[in-house]
Each structure stands twice: as C-alpha cells, then as structure tokens.
Structure 1
Amino acid sequence: MTISKSDLKNKVIQEIEKSKDKIIGFAKDIAENAETGYREVKTAEKVKKIFSDLNLNFTDGHAITGVKSSPIAGKSSGPTIAVIGELDGLIVKDHPLADKKTDAVHACGHNCQLGSMIGVGLGLINSKANELLNGNVVLFAVPAEETIENEFRINLIDEGKLGFISGKQELIRLGSFDDIDAAMLSHATSKQSDGDLAVGGTSLGHLVKYVEFFGLASHAAGAPQDGINALKAANIAMMAMDSQRESFEDKDKVRVHGILTAGGTSVNSIPSIAKLEWRIRGRTIDVVNKINTKIDRSIKAGAMAMGAKVRIRSIAGNLPMLQNKHMNNIYLNNAENIVGKNNVVLHPDDQSGGSTDMGDLSQILPIIHPRSGGAEGTGHGNNYFIKDYEKSVINPAKAMATTIIDLLWPDDMQINEVINNHKPNYSISEYISLQNKRMGNDFNDYTS
C-alpha cells in the first residue's frame, strides 16, 4: 500500500473541495428544474449527463426515471455500496421557486442529495481511490421518495407500470438493489438541532389511503332531496377519523392526516364524487394496521350515513427506518473530522414524525441516513431554501466519501463486519410479499 488511509481521505476531501463549484452548480441546476415523482425526466437527463462527464457508464429507466451508475471504485469481487440521491421535488404552489406550470419545487432539499452523491463520485474518481479500495461504489439517482400525487401513481399501478407507490419500494421489487450490500443517503435539514452534520434517528412507517365517495347529482336548490351528497359523506368520514384521535396511544407515535382532493364541480349541483388522500403513520406496521381498522370504519361510516358508495384503496407505504449503528459510528468520526466535534449531532434511536422509503431499504440492507445543515425555513413549506450549499452538499459529500474509504479499506474492510452482523428483518422476497399483502381495494355500496 503506497498511501495511508488517512492520506487517501485527505486526498478525496481535497478533490471534492477543488470541484465544489461544479458540484454546487449541479445541485443548483437541479433546484431550478424541479419535477415530482416518476415525472423526473429532465432531472434524470441531467444526472446522465454528469455521469457521462465523469466517464461513468449507467443504466436508466429504473422504476421509470431512476439512473444507476456503473461501479466507480474498487474490485468487482468486493462488496458494493450505493450512494443514493433522490430525484423528486414537492408541490408547494406558493413557493417563490415553484415551477410556473407544475408548482414543483425542491422544498425538501433532494437536489442537495444529488449534489452530494456526485461529490462522492467525483472525489473517489479524481483521487484514484477506485484503484485502492476493495469493493465497489455505485451512484444511484432514484425517483419518487415523496408520497404525493397518489391518484397519478395509483393509475400507474392499475396500468401495470408500477407495483409500489414509492421509488425505493419499486426498485426493491424490480431487483435494482439485488447487487447492493449497503447504502447511504444524506438529507439536508433546516433544524438547528441537527448542527452542521447529524447522525442517527429513525422514522415512522405508513399506509397510503385513497378514497372515492360516489353519490348522486341533483339540483342543489331545486331538488336536493333527489341527490346523494358525496361531499357530505366525506365530511362525516373526516369528522369520524378526527374523533378517533383520543384512542391513539402516545407510545405508538400515530399521525393521521390528509386532504380533500375533490368535492364537487358545480355549486348548483349536489356533489356526486368526493375524493380523499389520507396517510396513517405509526411506530410499527402493526400499529399502522391497528389504526387502519379504525380509519376504514370511519370512512365507511360517512358513506353509510349518506347512503353513498365508497371505494377505499390502501396502498403499501413506507416501513420504519432502522439505521446501521456501525456505519453511523464510522460516519460520525468522519463528520467530526470535517466540521468539528461540536458541530456534529448524534441523535438517539427515536422516531421523527416523518416517513421515508429509505425505511423500506433499511429493512433488507444496512443503511445510514445522515443529515446536513445549510437549509432554512420549514421543510415542505414555502419558506424552505438552501442558504449554504457548502454545508448542505459539500460537507456530506466529504463525510460519505471518507466513510466509504473506512468501509472498503483493504487492510480493515469494515464493510464485512457491517454485512456479517446485519440481521435484516426481511429478505427481498419477504419484503415484496409483505407489501403486496398491505395493498387493498374495498368497495361498499350503501345506497339501498
């Protein structure tokens, strides 16, 4: 070995630092062209172009828009680590940077993930770490982490173009992670409590609900008695769901929330169709299933009260996220080296109120999901902006790249210990079976 591990880390850090303008420019370009899940066509093209600029081969079309690089480091016989970046944005209509036609915007910082992913690849390639590491690194730009536009996605499922609603779920189903042994993704955060870099924590599991109430239109003033008001059925269902809240146990970390997406087309007509998109979250999938029973009762109660019909679609959502402690500890040490110990936060293994499909991946592979500072405002809000791209993009790129060196260093190969000690909750086939069982399509007619 002609170079020490610490010297190689420093060399990688220097290469990322030298190219930081290019890396940050890429992240900003992604931010200026936001697209939502499974529609990230322009974003995927930008990823493919920069892969080509790095002389990386790639495959595309993974779960419609995903782009996966060829291995960029090490020897083909060694383990493979995926560095993940998410392609999709959100819809926030009143965000100043929202697309004028689609309202898409990167109000969750996924553009920074793609930037740090590219930073890792660039640092490893330009430092020639790929000639020294005993394993492989794959850059994987993945679609549709945000579970939004569910009617569109359900139509894709019904058309046979998708099996699952979230990107990593679908990639697992399609086998795109079959050759991956471990994975990492860094997420930008605006929380001051996360410091410059944060490690640890987990997330909630969830279930997606898509509900259609079918009534009967009639003249709202001339003959309301002849109609069946689908909007009223939805209102009663929402009231019934809200009334369940006092039955939720605090320890289960339950969140039930949603939106009314349709409630009539003319004020002069009794609404014949109303639609809800709802979400059930909880500490475990068993908790989610328990709450789902109450939510289904509440939805049916609304239809029953008004004598309407109702279709309840249950779509398998994300599983809780479990981060690998060994990988987290390695990342923590590297993060402290990059930004200083006082600027790194170690979170306990406790759930946040959110969910992510990194949770699904964590149930079958060892993963980490660190966070990086540099954002301000409220995530998913109209005041969310990246104010310091060096913190949001460059710091995590350096931390992930140096963590990979620790994991794949030939004299140590900590990745082997990670893999050997990891006990997945599901095999890939078991995961797919579980998620298929969570899918539901229940129709009830209360018109007679």
Structure 2
Amino acid sequence: MTDNNAIKTIFANAIDGRIDEIKRISLDILNHPESGYREYRTSRLVADWFRTNGFHVQTDVAKTGVISTLETGRPGPHVVVMGELDALLVPKHLYADRETGAAHACGHHAQIGSMLTVAAGLLNESVNKNLAGKISFMATPAEEYIELEYRQTLVDNGEIEFFGGKQEFIKLGHFNDVDIAMLTHTGSELRGTLGIGGSNNGMVGKTIRYTGRAAHAGGSPHLGINSLNAAHLALAAIHAQRETFRDSDTVRVHPIITKGGSAVNSVPSDVRIETYVRASNVPAILRTSQKVDRAFRSGALATGSSVEIITTPGYLPAKYDSSLTELYSHNAASLIGDDNIIRLNHGTGCTDMGDVSQIVPAIQPSANATTGSGHGTDYRVDNYELAITKAGKAMGMTLIDLLSVDGEKARDIAGSFDAPMTIDDYLHRMRSFRSRDTYEE
C-alpha cells in the first residue's frame, strides 16, 4: 500500500532545493506587471520555466494563457492547479509600471509561484510514479475584471468572447475532462494563516456611454446637452436604490466615470462609466442590474441625451467544495499547525474561480501573507515562505492524496460533486447575461 506521508516528504524535500529559484520568478513578475490579456512577458516567463523542466506546454490559450501538462502514464482523474497572470491598475503602488500603471496589488505573482512550487515537487520520479491520471498547470489571464472598454474591443474583434480568462478556458474546452481544480490566493486575514472554505459574490459588468451635444460651456451652454449632468443624475439614482438592496444578498454597486468630457470649456457630450453589479446569488444580480439600468436611463431622460448600456457576463458566485476543503485543510495543518488554519466567511469580492466552482469541485484557499489593503497602493506580499512555498506544498500534498491509489480519493470527490450546471448550461447562462441597448428621449 502506498505510504502517502513518505511521498509527501519526498515531494516537500524536492521543493526545498528550488525555493530561491521560484521566488525569483515571482519577484520578476512583481517587477514587470501586466494587466489582463496583455500579459505577454509574464506568459513567456512561465511557459519557458515549464518547457525547461520538461512539461508539455501549450501557449496563447485565450490570448496569453499557458497550460502545462504532466502525464503520469497511468489512467486516472485530471486535476488542475492554477495561477493568475494579470495585474491590476494601481499607478501609485510601489511596484507599479511607470508607463501603464499596472501593479500586482492582489498578489497574483505569488499565485504563480505557488503553482510552480507544486510542479517542481511533482517532477521527482519517486513522487509521480505513485500517482495516476493527469495534472495540468493553468496560468490564466485576466482575472481582474478591469479595462472593460478594452476588453469589449477584443470581443468586437473576435479575439475573446468573455472578459475573464478562466471563462475563456472553459469555453475553449480546457475543462471538459477536468475533475478537480485548485488555486491559492493571497489574503489579508489573520496573518500567518491559511484560510479555507468561504464563498464569494458573483457579478455582471456594465459600460455606459452618454451622448449629448457639445456647445460653448460659457457662451452658449443652452445649445448643448450635458452628458456629464446625465451621468451625475444616474449615479444619484443608483444611490437612491441602495436601501432596497437586501443585506442577505450582499449587493455591491460601485461605478466610476472613465471619461467626463473632452475640454473644460465645452459642454460634455461624451461621458463614459464602468460599473459592476455584485451579489451573492444570481437572482439578486439580475434584480439589481435592472434597477441600475433604470437609473442610467433616468439620467438620459432628464437631460435629453442618449445612453448606451452594455452589460457583459461577469463571474458566477463561488461555492467551494467541502470534501476537497477538508482534505486540503488536513495537509495545510501538517505544515503550519491546526491553530493556523482559519475558516473564511463569505467574501463580497468576485473571482472567476466562481465559474470553475460551478462545474467541478474547486477550492481557493488564501495564504494570509500580506500587509496593506487588497487592490490598494500599500498591498504587499511580505511572507513569501507562506505565500509560495507552504501554499504550494499544501496544494501538492493534497494532490498526492487525490491521485495516489489509482486516484481513488479524486474519483470519490468528483463522483459525489453535485454540479450546479454542465459546461453547456454554464455557457448558455453566461451568454444570457449579455445585452446592448440604447435609449433616447
């Protein structure tokens, strides 16, 4: 009978000899941030590491994604370990790109490190000879749902269909034979811990464009139609709806004006807004989306401008698998102690791991190895041992449990998973969120 503890020790020891190498790659990514569907340098760096280490590598998946595969040579389940390639736009972050403003203010560079850590340990023949099935390492683009106008141009040009990278991977068929998926995110809960369980909101995205009429702002404003005023009225109307949002639905609506006009002495005739509509469940997302659309239409009606509202599929609520969570928890505790494993509550942020969790058993534990506020100028990973090495070891040890003994544990978890939807159902649902409407007086 296979001694998993002995295999895990060999796995962990194999990683220990490559900690500095993997950390260097993570820091390289930190110092060269790229936003979603622009991660060309990051993608090459990751692909080159996998090629150098003998993996079968597929590049340019959903523009910039990478899939690297390790076949055990024995039939069994297919387990995926993921990391995200993209950065945010936080221009004042210490490690922001001076030209683009991109910055790893969400710790995705450490995710890639933890994914590579798993891969490095599995290269040891004494480890992988005891496993069955297939392991894929997916470096996915564009988890951060930003630059909506840019991504809409990619959709219009036929380069992508969905704004999120994992959504594209699902659409392209890369999850058709996947049985289990996992990814470790950095977090800012109790420092020094690994967080398990929890759930996340889902969302849709919206881009709004008000079109008015330009005129001299000082000399003849009466001849213009002020699109900025339309936007202000709409934002006020959204705020007036907030008391109707149920606490249990954890609704979040947070618009930004991305263009407020062209010149200060001209009545604004082209004003643009981006927003999310987030909630813990799909019915609440749809209800709130309708309220938000009415608010945007009200601004156009009041001022006489026209408004175009584009609603795009966002992310589905995340529901992480309890059986897989418990298996991971046991392995994580063996590394850092039971007292340093914490249970996560519902999070009102969103992730495209939510989409994955709707079709296969999935987990997204958090490595609480940071300081500062997530997505803020002060967010830093300051404990790379936890964020990369221990996070990677915990995932890898879980993978060993899943794929040893002919993949029995993975088969059990996948077999007992009651998927909320099939992949076909998922794609139909996501496409149903999309709309593009123009309203005029």
Using structure 2 for the length normalisation, give the TM-score: 0.98
Q: Report the Cα offset of residue 12 of structure 1.
A: 0.5
**2:280 and 2:348 in contact (8 A); partners too:** no
User: Partners of 1:37 and 1:412 in 2: how far apart?
Assistant: 35
Q: Residue 334 of structure 2 aligns with which residue?
A: 337
Segment of structure 1 superposing worse, 262-271 or 194-203:
194-203
**2:10 and 2:126 in contact (8 A); partners too:** no
Matches within 5 A, 1:321-400: 321-347=318-344, 350-400=345-395
Q: Report the Cα offset of residue 128 of structure 1.
A: 3.4
In the alignment, does 2:3 pair up with 1:4? yes
In the alignment, does 2:99 pair up with 1:104? no
Q: Residue 218 of structure 1 aligns with which residue?
A: 215
Q: Report the Cα offset of residue 412 of structure 1.
A: 6.7
How many residues matched?
441
**1:34 and 1:105 in contact (8 A); partners too:** yes
Q: CA offsets, 1:195-246, max 9 Å, x none?
A: 4211110100101010000000000011100000011000100010011001
Matches within 5 A, 1:2-401: 4-72=3-71, 74-126=72-124, 128-192=126-190, 195-347=192-344, 350-401=345-396
User: Partners of 1:135 and 1:346 in 2: how far apart?
Assistant: 30
Q: CA offsets, 1:396-440, max 9 Å, x none?
A: 110000000111111672101111101111111111111111000
Q: Report the Cα offset of residue 77 of structure 1.
A: 2.0
Q: Report the Cα offset of residue 127 of structure 1.
A: 5.1
User: Partners of 2:144 and 2:323 in 1: how far apart?
Assistant: 28
**2:256 and 2:273 in contact (8 A); partners too:** yes
Q: CA offsets, 1:283-340, max 9 Å, x none?
A: 1011000011110110000000000000000001000001111110010000000011
**1:203 and 1:359 in contact (8 A); partners too:** yes
Q: Report the Cα offset of residue 169 of structure 1.
A: 1.0
Unaligned runs of 5+ in 2: none
Q: Report the Cα offset of residue 75 of structure 1.
A: 3.3
Q: CA offsets, 1:328-376, max 9 Å, x none?
A: 00100000000111111123xx421100000001101110101112211
SS of 2:188's equivalent in the other structure is: coil
Q: Report the Cα offset of residue 160 of structure 1.
A: 1.2
Residue of structure 1 aligned with 2:436, choices 425, 429, 441 = 441
User: Partners of 1:218 and 1:28 in 2: how far apart?
Assistant: 51
SS of 2:170's equivalent in the other structure is: helix
SS of 1:23's equivalent in the other structure is: helix
Partner amino acid for 2:163? Answer: I
**1:195 and 1:345 in contact (8 A); partners too:** no
**2:7 and 2:126 in contact (8 A); partners too:** no
RMSD over aligned CA atoms reads: 1.2
**1:134 and 1:413 in contact (8 A); partners too:** no
User: Partners of 2:188 and 2:253 in 1: how far apart?
Assistant: 24
Partner amino acid for 1:307? Answer: G
SS of 2:424's equivalent in the other structure is: helix
**2:192 and 2:386 in contact (8 A); partners too:** no
Point out 4+ residue stretches in structure 1 off by more than 3 angstroms: none
Unaligned runs of 5+ in 1: none
SS of 2:319's equivalent in the other structure is: coil
User: Partners of 2:108 and 2:406 in 1: how far apart?
Assistant: 35
| Identity over aligned pairs, percent | 38
